[in-house]
Amino acid sequence: MSASPATRTTARPAAAVRTGEPTGTDAAYAVQFSGLGRTFAPSPGSRRRTRAATTTSVEVARPVLRDVSISVQPGEVLAILGTSGCGKSTLLRIAGGLDSPSAGSVRIDGSPVTDFDTRCAVGFQEPRLLPWRTVADNVALGLPRGTAREAGRARVAELLELVGLSAFADHRPASISGGMAQRASLARALARNPGVLLLDEPFGALDALTRLKMQDLLLDVHAAAPTTVLLVTHDVDEALQLADRIILLGQEAAPSGGSRPPGATIVQEITVPGTRPRDRGSAELAELRGRLLAGLGIDRHGDPRGVATGTSIPHFPY
């Protein structure tokens, strides 16, 4: 496992969440991005188009991410914020070995990420459930290989109960709502009991109330099995509620007189104060919210309230 001193050995309060867990990694791994960049080659279609046209700008490969360096500690929850299309999913896919970086590297627990790294579990932005399988069988797909039949069934039932889909265990994905499908997809990722949990906007399709419930659920699950979580979201409040740290991806402001290098990188990094679950109405969080929203290009419609950004409230790693 990790040699990092931050590996948490705290008591697991919500032990009911993982009764009789037979397999999977009990570890939480460190994830280290160093100088990561990703440039997408121009598609063959666009190249053909530009040959006919006079401009050559489309033919140039497009940098999406550049110089992303951050070290995520074992058991930490890192929220990745950014506007749509800025490369959040790309960053997550690279962390899980679903895509490869054009520059730099990602290491999990000190060793480079392999293709479809088995130390990770992915909750995709789309539910991606197999349409011919029942909800329960889809969740079972996430179970680590070699899980005993009975134990697997119990774990699936437990997870369905957690995400509130017990009554729909035998339904096909086509006959449940989008929000339910996304919860099933979350349950599938949780079933893996991974060392690194990669969640790509896991609550995006949920109605506001279910979203809050699912956020609390994720906190319970994390408290019970403190795995490392990389959570992509476009919801500032969600990030503040769930994360130990938040990074904001975006285009860096151009230096005076210079030109702005293309590709998104980390433009803000915020350590969220306070232990979870956090008071959703806290004034200090409101201040951070304002800063993050400003980073996302949203006018906060108000003045900063003078809350110090350096804080005395304990924060991760506690």
Ligand X SMILES: Nc1ncnc2c1ncn2[C@@H]1O[C@H](COP(=O)(O)OP(=O)(O)O)[C@@H](O)[C@H]1O
Q: Does 90 bind Mg ion (CB under 5 A)?
A: no
Q: How far is the CB of 125 from Mg ion (least distance, A)?
A: 5
Q: Point out which span in 66-74, 112-120, 269-277, 283-291 binds other proteins (CB under 8 A).
A: 112-120
Q: Restricting to residues 113-132, which ones interact with other proteins according to CB under 8 A? A: 116, 118, 120-122, 124, 126, 128, 130-132
For ligand X, how many residues bind (rule: CB under 6 A)?
10
Instruction: Name 95's Cβ contacts closer than 8 Å, sequence gap at least 6.
Output: 31, 33, 106, 108, 113, 120, 196, 198, 230
Q: 90: which 2 tokens?
A: 């790309």
Q: How far apart are CA 87 and CA 71, in angstroms?
A: 18
Nearer to other proteins, 126 or 269 (CB): 126
Nearest alpha carbon to residue 101 among 45, 43, 32, 46:
32
DSSP summary character for residue 58? G
Q: Which is nearer to ligand X, 138 or 233 (CB)?
A: 233
Q: Is 183 in the site for ligand X (CB under 6 A)?
A: no
CA distance 221 to 180: 18
**90 contacts ligand X (rule: CB under 6 A):** yes
* 3-state DSSP assignment of residue 152: helix
Q: Which of residues 139-178 bind other proteins (CB under 8 A)?
A: 141-142, 144-145
CB of 73 to Mg ion, least distance (A): 24
Contacts of 285 (CB under 8 A, 6+ apart): 240, 272, 274, 278, 279
Residue whose CB is less far from other proteins, 66 or 93: 93
Residues in contact with other proteins, total (CB under 8 A)? 19
Stretch of 7-15, 22-30, 73-81, 138-146 contacting other proteins, by CB under 8 A: 138-146
Q: Which is nearer to ligand X, 78 or 136 (CB)?
A: 78
Q: CA-to-CA distance for 254 and 261, rounded, in angstroms?
A: 8
Q: Is 89 in the site for ligand X (CB under 6 A)?
A: yes
Query: Scanning residues 83 to 102, which ones bind other proteins (CB under 8 A)?
Result: 96, 98
State in angstroms the smallest separation of the CB of 161 from other proteins: 21
Q: Token pair for residue 301? A: 């419609």
Candidate residues 87, 173, 194, 226; the one interacting with ligand X per rule CB under 6 A: 87
89 lies in the binding site for Mg ion (CB under 5 A): yes
DSSP string, 170-223: T--GGGS-HHHHHHHHHHHHHHT--SEEEEESTTTTS-HHHHHHHHHHHHHHHH
- Cβ pair 189, 122 in contact under 8 A: yes
Can you tell me the distance from the alpha carbon of 186 to that of 159, in angstroms, rounded to the nearest whole number? 9
Is 91:80 a contact under the CB 8 Å cutoff? yes
> Which residues are near Mg ion by CB under 5 A?
89, 125
> Which residues are near other proteins by CB under 8 A?
96, 98, 116, 118, 120-122, 124, 126, 128, 130-132, 141-142, 144-145, 188, 192
> Which residues are near ligand X by CB under 6 A?
40, 64, 82, 84-90
